[in-house]
A and B are shown apart, each in its own frame.
Chain A
Amino acid sequence: MTSPHPPAKVKSRKRHHWIVRVTHWVNFVAIVIMVGSGLRIFNAYPAFARKGEMFCCYPFEHKPIPAWLTFGGWLGGARHWHFAMMWVLVVNGLIYLTFIYLHGDWRDLVPRKGDIRDSWQMVKFYTFRRKDHPHQGKHNALQKGAYFALPIAGALAVLTGIAIWKPVQLSWLTALFGGYVWARYWHFIAMLVIVILSVIHVFMVFAVDPYSITSMITGNYDPALSPEARNARPFYHLLPPRRPAAPVPVAPPPTEST
């Protein structure tokens, strides 16, 4: 694959500051280990209802999570990983949030008027009900929503985690989430939100904007290759080519084109 543009001409403007790039990958490792070890801890009692009681909303009560999804090897090991990695997650998250606050990057993520409309336009574009990629800033509206929701889910995961780690010493915190049982539910809900958003994120990176991987490693990004510039839908490169590349004829031909 050859790049039609000499790299020397690309204006050196980092898409992601190095702090964002480092915290991103630290966060990746921390989340994978926190989820894996958390699921291993869950396997010590893989259910949400007390013994002999029914639970409405989880189809796999008392069925352990498959080992390949877990990390830590055994309950004690998983607990050690969980309680060690939680500091990495928290400190890393605080560095990231402090940085984007001071550096102004939060402006690319904070919800604004019109985001819901723009999100709907993105959905329409991805479902072929809109031809051209909606105009966007650094991120499209759907991305913005996800990146804004993730730190909130992260904070919820951390706080509910503390609530079920120290339900006696910090009983006020546990009470805030509705008691131990509810704090545990919230902990799982936060984890699920993080996992679902992360899976979609990784999928979209590979399917729509693989060039962003480089930008998250080196910081460089060529705007000419952005999904907006390429009009990229998921797996755009596997899709049949767009209709005859007639670049806006001066007079529209009389034949019908759909």
Chain B
Amino acid sequence: MSRDLRKFLIINGIDRRDFLIRGSGIISAVLLAACDSRGPKAADKLLKYAERKNRVVERKLFRHTSMDVVRAGAYDAGNKLPSYFIAPTVPVWDETARGKWSLEVSGLVGNPVRLTLEDLQRLPQTAVETWTGVPFSELAKFVRADPQARFVDFQSFDDDYHESWDIESAMHKQTVVAYGLDGKPLQPAHGAPARVYSPVKLGYKNTKYLTKIVFMPHMNGGYWSDQGYEWYGGV
């Protein structure tokens, strides 16, 4: 009721001009305070809730058949693929200090294994975009992954870097444990000796410098996920 509002304003000695000036002042103050901020602390719970709900939607949207055929007009990027800055120094597996590199695949599996690079290369091979490697689904078959394992953790020797995934994304046809790029062995900048690569996840989910793949009944966060980026990170 504007009559009540008007009465309220008159009682408080606020006329229309005052109301406009104070009103716009308050609105600007709130907007300015909100600028460059992370938003109110109380919203954190709400944002977490939204992230969980979004994850449900994202997993529903997830299709194993998305972009699994080469579209007409697709071309080989070749040397046109932009080279980009990665890091001033990249971790390198030091054989003299740590011995021969191997990849441990364990957790909820019937056949836990430790694979050398040669073992890995003997498994069925595929190429996704320009990455060569073992399809993750083949690896899961090889270690006889338990259906109870709904999540996978990809761990690395790059300090404590790891990221855990939902099993559907890991089992996607185009998720590979890659050891080659552009027909050459993987270079340290791209995660040598082996890294996970999938077009269905954002970059930070694709752990480089793999040492361990663990099948798990629960999710296990991740390096960036634990710092506040969304855990799902799917595209």
Contact = CB atoms under 8 A, between A and B. Distances in A.
Contacts of A52: 82
B51 A80 contact: yes
Given A1-B17, A51-B84, A168-B235, A71 B2 contact: no
Interface stretch (A81-89, A99-107, A122-130, A137-145): A81-89
A234 interface: no
Interface stretch (A112-120, A186-194, A210-218): A210-218
Contact of A168 (B31, B34, B66): B66
Given A87-B50, A166-B61, A220-B2, A71 B37 contact: yes
B227 interface: yes
A42 B172 CA distance: 29
A218 B47 contact: no
A170 interface: yes
A70 B39 contact: no
A80 B5 contact: no
Interface of A: 1, 7, 32-33, 36, 50-52, 67-77, 79-81, 83-84, 87, 165-171, 175, 206, 210, 213-214, 217-220
Contacts of B17: 1
B62 A169 contact: yes
Given A1-B16, A87-B50, A220-B2, A170 B61 contact: yes
A77 B35 contact: no
A141 B47 CA distance: 40
Contact of A79 (B23, B199, B229): B229
Given A68-B35, A206-B24, A84 B50 contact: yes
A222 to B, nearest CB: 9
B107 interface: no
Interface of B: 1-3, 5-6, 15-17, 20, 23-24, 31-32, 34-39, 46-47, 50-51, 53-54, 58, 61-63, 66-67, 71, 82, 84, 199-200, 224, 227-230, 234-235
Contact of A169 (B3, B15, B61, B84): B61
Contact of A71 (B6, B36, B50): B36
Contacts of A50: 82
B24 A73 contact: no
B38 A72 contact: yes
Given A71-B34, A71-B36, A80-B50, A218 B2 contact: yes
B235 A81 contact: no
A74 B38 CA distance: 7
Given A87-B50, A170-B61, A218-B2, A77 B24 contact: no
Max chain A CB contacts within 10 Å: which of B5, B31, B50?
B50
